[in-house]
Structure 1
Amino acid sequence: MNIILLPAQHNDEYWQIHDPRQLAHLKQYLNVQVGDQLKVGLLNQARYLTEVVEITEKEVRIKPLVQQPVPAKFPVTLIVALPRPKVLRRLVMDSVSLGVDKLVLIHSYRVDKSYWQTPFLTKLDEYVQLGLEQAGDVFTPEIVLEKRFKPFVEDRLAIWSKDRPTFVGHPYSEQRMPMAFNQPCQVVIGPEGGFIPYEIDLMQKNGCQSMSLGNRILRTETAVATILARLFS
């Protein structure tokens, strides 16, 4: 936890930290004391350097000292076939930490339909907060769920691809993923086992470009980090 993320505040002179998870971190791992300075973010508002003014059993009271800059996000919409539930948590946290501006979770042929019933999908806000706290960010990315592949590609992705390029990670493509692209774009990453040929063809017909990272097959979360590092180096 590299920042304490609090709900939005409205010009209060003092703020209170009373979330049990955050309090445990402050007391057990940081051994926070009155007079210590903490990096604190207000959700979707701003980031501040603060000073601890009071510590009780149930809360830590702080006062803001000075506003700090927030890490910039990548101008990328990350589109990922919904992974296994246990992978979903890591995927969301890592994507948020890396600075993805928008995350779209989609269905595809190799996505088990039961994945859409997982209770992990009801906890996306929690995973987003953990990712923001890791990166020292305060602004939540937009997260969209798309349960129908063909309508999504034809009705939305095709339109997005007219305004900015869409790169589909595909290990069997002869084209290589660009290096240091550093421009707004969409990135599409498939499920375990990859997209089937029909899905690749449909995306290509709707303005997407299939790109390879080489002949190694990567895990979803590894592919996300590798592609973003390559595009925005």
Structure 2
Amino acid sequence: MNLILLFPSDFSRDNTVTLRDERRVRHITQVQRICVGDTLKVGLINGQTGVGQVIELGSDSVTMTASLTQEPPAASNISIILALPRPPMLKRILQTISTLGVKELVLLQSSRVDKSYWQTPQLHEDKVREELILGLEQARDTRMPAIHQAKRFRPFIEDELRDFLGERQGFIAHPYARQHSPHNVSAPSVIAIGPEGGFLDKEIDAFEQRGFTGISLGPRILRVETAVTYLLGRFSSNAIN
């Protein structure tokens, strides 16, 4: 945990914060071994970052004064449309995109996505939020990503995709595309990434008909979570700044 993420409910006065949940208190007292008077890197969810100075340690609480004066890292200029992966992989991907600064992710049904995946507890709001917070803490970021669920492929493609893309560049990753993925793309972009086995040809055509360019990641077939990390790193250094 490289940042103690704060929430409005933690504040008792303008700049006084009391943490009572087990996870953060345990990390501060048992992992960081903080004492009264020590300082911590803190940040307000969707707000600024700064320093918290511990003024009281209880058996199950930590009280500090917070000074929030700095902006969090710049957000990535990349949004992702991702065919819903298997639940264990989804958990890791949510942390990854949060750590790398992605602020918009669409989880999409496609032909090769098992519909049972949508029933996983991992998609419950509290579980998604938990993984995103872990990613923010890792990166010392505070801005929570927006996660959208598109449980039907065709309605999303036909009714929402053009508006979602807007004026941005659109790319769809596919192992057999002729064009290799671009590098250091400065313009805002949307990347569509398929499931294990890739999108079907008709699904690729649907994206391309709406302005997306097919791109290849090279001759190796990658796991979805590897492809996400690879593309974010390759497309723009803004993804990790």
Query: TM-score interval w.r.t. the shorter chain?
Result: over 0.9
Structure 2 letter corresponding to 1:3: L
Is 2:9 aligned against 1:5?
no
CA distance in structure 1 between the partners assigned to 2:227 and 2:84 by the alignment: 14
Structure 1 letter corresponding to 2:183: M
Structure 1 letter corresponding to 2:151: K
Match of 2:122 in 1: 120
From 207, 217, 220, the equivalent of 1:213 is 217
* Superposed displacement of residue 11, structure 1: 5.5
Structure 2 letter corresponding to 1:6: L
* Superposed displacement of residue 134, structure 1: 0.9
**Does the CA contact (< 8 Å) of 2:76 and 2:103 recur in 1?**
yes
TM normalised by structure 1 equals: 0.96
Per the alignment, in what secondary structure is the counterpart of residue 208 of structure 2? helix
- 1:18-97 to structure 2, matched below 5 A, reads 18-97=20-99
Structure 1 letter corresponding to 2:59: E
Residue range with higher mean Cα deviation, 166-175 or 59-68: 59-68
* Superposed displacement of residue 162, structure 1: 4.8
- 1:46-195 to structure 2, matched below 5 A, reads 46-122=48-124, 123-195=127-199
**Does the CA contact (< 8 Å) of 2:47 and 2:71 recur in 1?**
no
**Does the CA contact (< 8 Å) of 1:4 and 1:22 recur in 2?**
yes
**Does the CA contact (< 8 Å) of 1:49 and 1:68 recur in 2?**
no
Cα gap change, 1:167 to 1:24, in 2 (>3 Å): same
Supply the RMSD in Å over aligned alpha carbons.
1.3
Structure 1 letter corresponding to 2:41: K
* Superposed displacement of residue 68, structure 1: 2.2
Unpaired segments ≥5 residues, structure 1: none
CA distance in structure 2 between the partners assigned to 1:148 and 1:186 by the alignment: 19
* Superposed displacement of residue 13, structure 1: 3.2
CA distance in structure 1 between the partners assigned to 2:166 and 2:64 by the alignment: 48
**Does the CA contact (< 8 Å) of 1:77 and 1:101 recur in 2?**
yes
* Superposed displacement of residue 3, structure 1: 0.5
Per the alignment, in what secondary structure is the counterpart of residue 100 of structure 1? coil
How many pairs are equivalent? 233
* Superposed displacement of residue 66, structure 1: 4.9
Structure 1 letter corresponding to 2:123: L
Structure 2 letter corresponding to 1:177: S
**Does the CA contact (< 8 Å) of 1:37 and 1:49 recur in 2?**
yes
CA distance in structure 1 between the partners assigned to 2:116 and 2:86 by the alignment: 9
CA distance in structure 2 between the partners assigned to 1:71 and 1:162 by the alignment: 24
CA distance in structure 1 between the partners assigned to 2:166 and 2:37 by the alignment: 53
**% of aligned pairs identical?**
44
Moved over 6 A (4+): none
